[in-house]
Amino acid sequence: MNYTIGNKVKGMISVCTSLTLQTQSQHQLLARTMDFPTTSPWQPIYLPAGETLRTRFQSNYSAKFAILGSGRLIDGYRLMGDGFNTAGLAVAELYFPNRTVYHKVPVPRKLNLTPQDIILWLLGNYRSVAEVQTALPKIALIGDVWFRENKVYPFHWIITDQTGATMVLEPTSLTLSLKPDATQVLTNTPELENHIARLNRFLKLDQPDFNEVTIQRSRAYIASDQALPTGPVPTNRFISAAINRWGHDLPTTDSNAVATLFNTLDQVVIPRDPEKVKRSNHNYTHYESILSLTDQTYYYKAMTNNRLQTISLPDLVEKFPKTPFIFPND
């Protein structure tokens, strides 16, 4: 059978949290924590339109749009964890162990990509969630190592654009498609539907779907001043982020939205333990990021010193129209 199930990097389990938020003026933002064992540094990376990008199996291609996000440099290649492009499309990857289904080998007459290729391919080629949805049937995800890193990552992705549409790509079968994420939140395994069911049970609701009743119960929970779940467990982080997301009024301005999102992310941070930092399975939060799609601004906060970098994609396009730029990680 030409597929693999439950791809997992031995000894490594990553935990991340992401969510989207829209202001009252309909400005769209995506936020995430990057929780991962010790690796080469995660850094903000800018790639101009026209930059030559590489995938594991396809020919080199030129990015149609400028891209800004965070990633790691591995033998000169960029492995992105999140990012957005000048068209207003944004993508973030999160760990999805024991659920992914990948082809073992490239598929004839398909666009063959590894999980590590997805973010740059989408941001380099597409303008919107709708365009991504149209393109997915042509793509085959191949469970193969990415150049010299010698790992196959089990990922799923949260994808959004300036319209406010928030979708999730979960490769639980060989046929790829997007599914709407009404909660606008994503963490790690289990699947989105399972997270929603657990959220409803936490709120004492006997229903499978996320709807207005869930929102009302989230607002009541916040108003009650009860504690939200804490710790690294993905289902607890999903519940915490979702109730925070829906339990408050929408922010009025972008600056209010950024403050609100950082507050939500701070509540799900995984602390770095200096005594465990060299262990391959010690996950901790490396950075928090917020991607403002309307004003094209990237907010990056390294957990090493909590210094906030505010980076404008339009400014980078003007200053470096043909040259990539890598920012310090802290």
Confidence at 4, pLDDT banded by 50, 70, 90: low
Residue 274's pLDDT is: 77
Res. 10: pLDDT tops 60: no
Contact 14, 37 (CB under 8 A): yes
Q: If you average pLDDT over residues 38-48, what whole number do you get? A: 90
Q: Which of 8-22, 146-160, 163-177, 260-274 has the highest mean pLDDT?
A: 163-177
Which residues have a Cβ under 8 Å from the Cβ of 325 and sit 6 or more positions away? 45, 46, 316
Residue 8's pLDDT is: 46
Residue 2's pLDDT is: 56
Res. 135: pLDDT tops 70: yes
**Beta strand residue intervals within 148-223, DSSP E:** 155-160, 166-169, 178-180, 185-186
Show the CA angle centred on residue 130, arms to residues 126 and 132, nearest 5°: 45
Residue 102's pLDDT is: 98
Residue 74's pLDDT is: 84
What the chain holds in terms of domains, given with CATH numbers, is 4-190+251-326 (3.60.60.10)
Sign of the four-CA dihedral 299, 87, 50, 18: positive
Contact 141, 5 (CB under 8 A): no
Q: If you average pLDDT over residues 237-258, what whole number do you get? A: 98
Between 282 and 110, whose confidence is greater?
Answer: 110
pLDDT for 70-93, tens place per residue?
A: 999 887 889 999 999 999 999 999
In the DSSP assignment, the letter for residue 249 is: P
Residue 281's pLDDT is: 75
* 231: its two tokens: 């710790």
Res. 12: pLDDT tops 60: no
Q: If you average pLDDT over residues 31-51, what whole number do you get? A: 92
Between 173 and 59, whose confidence is greater?
Answer: 173
Between 79 and 2, whose confidence is greater?
Answer: 79
pLDDT for 175-232, tens place per residue?
A: 999 999 999 999 999 999 999 999 999 999 999 999 999 999 999 999 999 999 999 9
Res. 43: pLDDT tops 80: yes
Q: If you average pLDDT over residues 115-131, what whole number do you get? A: 98
Query: Can you list the pairs that 103-107 forms with residues at least 24 positions away whose Cβ atoms lie under 8 Å?
Result: 103/2, 103/3, 103/4, 103/140, 103/141, 103/142, 103/143, 103/174, 104/2, 104/3, 104/4, 104/142, 104/143, 105/2, 105/142, 106/57, 106/140, 106/142, 107/2, 107/140, 107/142
Res. 6: pLDDT tops 60: no
Residue 11's pLDDT is: 45
Q: If you average pLDDT over residues 11-28, what whole number do you get? A: 87
Res. 7: pLDDT tops 50: no
Residue 278's pLDDT is: 74
Residues 291, 293, 296, 298, Cα dihedral to 10°: 0
Q: If you average pLDDT over residues 282-305, what whole number do you get? A: 95
Average pLDDT of the chain is 94
Res. 13: pLDDT tops 60: no
Res. 141: pLDDT tops 80: yes
Sign of the four-CA dihedral 283, 153, 173, 159: positive
Res. 154: pLDDT tops 90: yes
Going by C-alpha positions, the residue among 33, 119, 110 that lies closest to residue 77 is 119
Residue 150's pLDDT is: 79
Q: How far apart are the first and last CA of the chain?
A: 45
